[in-house]
Structures are given as C-alpha cells and as structure tokens.
Structure 1
Amino acid sequence: MSKRIDVKDLNVYYGDFLAVEGVTMTIEPRSITALIGPSGCGKSTFLRTLNRMHEVIPGARVEGEAIMDGQNLYADDVDPVQVRRQVGMVFQRPNPFPTMSIAENVLAGVRLNNRRIKKSEAEDLVEDSLRGANLWNEVKDRLARPGSSLSGGQQQRLCIARAIAVRPEVLLMDEPASALDPISTLAIEDLMAELKDDYTIVIVTHNMQQAARVSDKTGFFNIAGTGKPGHLIEYDATDKMFSSPTMKETEDYISGRFG
C-alpha cells in the first residue's frame, strides 16, 4: 500500500514570497521520515506540499516535482483531491468533528469522497480503522458518543483512524503529539511504529528525542534569517544524523545550541 516519493528541486511560494527553496529528497516506503528544524523554517509548509494542502491558501504554488508511482503530483492532469485521498494528513491538534459520533468521525472522509457503502461494510470499516489506530478496545462500547467526548490522546488516534479509513498510501503528521501528555505521546509513537508496516509516514516534530525514537530517516530544515526561504540542510539515516551529522548547522541544532 505504501509508496515512495521522490522530491526534486521543489520551491514553494506564497504569492511572490519564496518560502521553501530547492528541496530534493527521497521518502522511502514503509518507513518514518522526520522533519526537524527551528520554527518558521518551512517544515510544515513542505509537508503540506506532499498532498497539495498548501494550495488552499490563495496564491500558494509550487515549482519542481514530487513524484509518486512515476506520476508527478503537480502535473497538469493530476486532481489535487485525488492526491489528498492517496496522501492523508493528521494535524497538530486533534480535530474530530464535534457534532459527529466516534463512528461517524471515522467514516467522514469516506463519505466526503461520495463513497456509498452498506451498513455492514461501514461497521467493518469503522472497526478495522479503529483497530488500526489502536483505539477499538477503548471505544467499541460507545461508538455513538461524540468524538469530542474522548481524551486528547484518544481524539488524535480517532483522527488517525479517520485518515486511514480512506485507505491512503502515505500519512503526513504535523507535530501529532505536541499537544498531548507524555503517556498519550508514547501511544502515538507506538502507533506510528506499527503503521509504518503498511504506510509511508512523514512527520514534523520539534521533539528531538521523538525524532530519534521513531524515525528511520531525518531531514533538517533551517532558515538563514527572517524573510529568507527555508532549506533542507541535511537528510540522512536518523542514527547517523544524531550521532555524526555532516553539517555543523545540524549538529548545533540537535545539540540545542539554537532553535
């Protein structure tokens, strides 16, 4: 199910402002790639280019290529909505739909895509997705209750269940545990480790220990100053990045000298 993404010379603009410049990297299938770097350096902006979410901002555009399955996601004949079906996203703060039940939240993306499914199929999909998000045993007796009735960590796993219900090939996670307590954070990290057997996962995180714990490869982004574009400074296997980075900038950031 998971896919490799080859990014080549990607520039991201908001109007005339160049936000991220010249990113080239290969995101491997069935792996977790962590994006680290100080605030404002373009990590989340770059993440959103991988499913064309940045285009919801007027004037946003991309130059370069993001190739998945031999297809440039930015080719003229590619439908951004279809890209977002293939490349799911989980945001920083849990965002279940407050008026929907737990079960309805899981099915929301499927129904948004105008898929009609039988009641029995819907029930199976809810269970499969909640099991995939390690949430089924905690909520199976209260599926009709509002998604907002869950704890923060459970709500985030519900959002992950909603994302995987549409059967994507890639999962993007923008600081998925930054708003959670340590126990919930650990649950999300354990879940990511399980999900990478089936998905390509890319996460943005400010937590160096989290990046070191969960990711296979790490990309370090930085910015030369206010108003300058973000750059991918270094990209390598996580154990190498955290033990012997090539660039001094990377070493300074990982060791806490700035950022």
Structure 2
Amino acid sequence: MSKRIEVKDLNVYYGKFKAVEDVSLTIEPRTVTAFIGPSGCGKSTFLRTLNRMHEVIPGARVEGEVMIDGKNLYDADVDPVLVRRQVGMVFQRPNPFPTMSIADNVLAGVKLNNNKLSKSDAEHLVEKSLKGANLWKEVKDRLNLPGSGLSGGQQQRLCIARAIAVSPEVILMDEPCSALDPISTLAIEDLIEELKAKYTIVIVTHNMQQASRVSDKTAFFNIAGTGEPGKLIEFDDTTTIFENPHVQATEDYISGRFG
C-alpha cells in the first residue's frame, strides 16, 4: 500500500520569495524519513509540498516534480483533494475537532470524502483505525465522548487514527511530538515504528535523538542566511548522517554547534 516518493528539482515559492531551492531526493516505501535542520530552513514547507498542503497559503507555488509511483502530483489533471487523501498529514499540535466525539473524529476525513458507510462498517473502521493508532484499549468505552477530553498524547494518536482511516499510502508528520511530554512522545515513536510496516512515513523533527531513534533515512536542511532559500544539504541513511556525515555543516548541526 505504501508508495515511493521521488522529488526532482523542486523549488517552492511564496509570491516572489523562494522558500526552498532545488531539492531532489527519493523516499522509499515502508520507511521512516526524518527532516532535520534549524528553524526557518524550509523543512515544514517542503513537507507540505508532498501533499500540496502549502497551496492553502495564497501565492504559494512550486517548480519541479513530486512523483508518487511515477505520477506527478502537480500535473494539471491531478485533484489536490485526492492527493491529500493519498498522502495524510499529522500536525504539530493535536487538532481533534472539539465538538466531535472520538468516533466522529476518526470518521471525519472519510465523511468529508463523501464516503457513505453503514453503521456496522463505520464501527469497524473506527475500531480498526484506533487499534492502528494504539488507542483503542484506552478509549473503547467512551467513543461517544468529545475527542478534546483526551490527554495531549491521546489526542495526537486520535489525529493519527483520523489520518489512517481514509487509507492513505503516505503519512506526513510535522513535529508530531513537540507539544507532548516524554511518555507520550515515546508512545508516538513506538507507533511510528509499527506504522512503517504499512505506510511510507516522513517526519519533521527538531529532536535529534528522535530522528536517530525512529528514522531509516535523514535529510538535513539548512539556510545560508535570513531571506535565503532553504536547501537540502545532505540525505543519507540515518546512521551515516549521525555517525559519519559527509558535509561539515551536517556534523556542526548534529553536534549542537549551531541551530
């Protein structure tokens, strides 16, 4: 079910400002890829180009290609809504819909896509998705209570359940643990390890230890200075990036000399 992502010569603009310059990389199926780098270097912007989420900002555009199994997401005949169904997104702060129950939160994306489900199919999908997000045992007796009543870590896993309910092939995570305590962070990291058996996962993180723990590949982004575009400096196996990087700037960032 998971897909290979091939990015070729990608430039990302907000109006006249070039936010990301000339990125090319390949993300393999059923792997976890981490994007690291200092604030403002284009990690999250680049992540959002992988499901066209950056387009919700007026004036945003890209040059280049993002191919998923050989199909360019930016071809004129591609519907961005379908792209976002295929490539799910989990955001920095847990964002369950506050007026919806836990069960309705899980089904929100499915209903948005106008998928009609019978009551039994809906119940099955809720259970399957919550189990997939390692949340079922904790919430199975309160599915009709508001999702906003869960702890922060549980809310983030609820958002992951909502993302996988629409059967995506890729899951993007933009600093999914930055608002969570260490125990909740560990639960999300364990979940990422389980999810990669089915999905291609890309995660932005400022936490070097997290990147080294959860990812198979790591991409280091950097920026030359204020107003300059973010660039991909180095992309390799995570072990290589953290133990034997080929670029001095990568080693300087990982060792805490800047950023």
- TM-score, with normalisation over the residues of structure 1? 1.00
State the distance in 1 between where 2:124 and 2:205 align: 33
Aligned length: 259
Shift of 1:69: 1.5
Please give the root-mean-square deviation of Cα atoms over the aligned residues, in Å: 0.3
Listed one character per residue, the Cα deviations across residues 138-176 of structure 1 (whole Å, up to 9, x for unaligned) are 000000000000000000000000000000000000000
**What's 1:18 paired with?**
18
**What's 1:108 paired with?**
108
- TM-score, with normalisation over the residues of structure 2? 1.00
**What's 2:146 paired with?**
146
Divergent runs of 4+, >2 A: none
- The amino acid of 1:236's aligned partner reads D
**What's 1:242 paired with?**
242
Residue 177 of structure 2 aligns to a residue whose secondary structure is coil
Listed one character per residue, the Cα deviations across residues 198-230 of structure 1 (whole Å, up to 9, x for unaligned) are 000000000000000000000000000000000
- The amino acid of 2:175's aligned partner reads E
**What's 2:217 paired with?**
217
- The amino acid of 1:255's aligned partner reads S
- The amino acid of 2:169's aligned partner reads E
Shift of 1:49: 0.1
State the distance in 2 between where 1:113 and 1:221 align: 34
State the distance in 1 between where 2:11 and 2:117 align: 40
State the distance in 2 between where 1:173 and 1:111 align: 22
Shift of 1:70: 1.1
- The amino acid of 1:205's aligned partner reads T
**What's 1:49 paired with?**
49
Residue 227 of structure 1 aligns to a residue whose secondary structure is coil
Residue 6 of structure 2 aligns to a residue whose secondary structure is strand
- The amino acid of 2:137's aligned partner reads N
State the distance in 1 between where 2:159 and 2:26 align: 27
**What's 1:200 paired with?**
200
Listed one character per residue, the Cα deviations across residues 56-113 of structure 1 (whole Å, up to 9, x for unaligned) are 0010000000001210000111110000000000000000000000000000000000
- The amino acid of 1:74's aligned partner reads Y
- The amino acid of 1:229's aligned partner reads P
**What's 1:228 paired with?**
228
Give the share of equivalent positions with the same residue, in percent.
80
- The amino acid of 2:202's aligned partner reads V
Residue 168 of structure 1 aligns to a residue whose secondary structure is coil
**What's 2:161 paired with?**
161
Unaligned runs of 5+ in 1: none
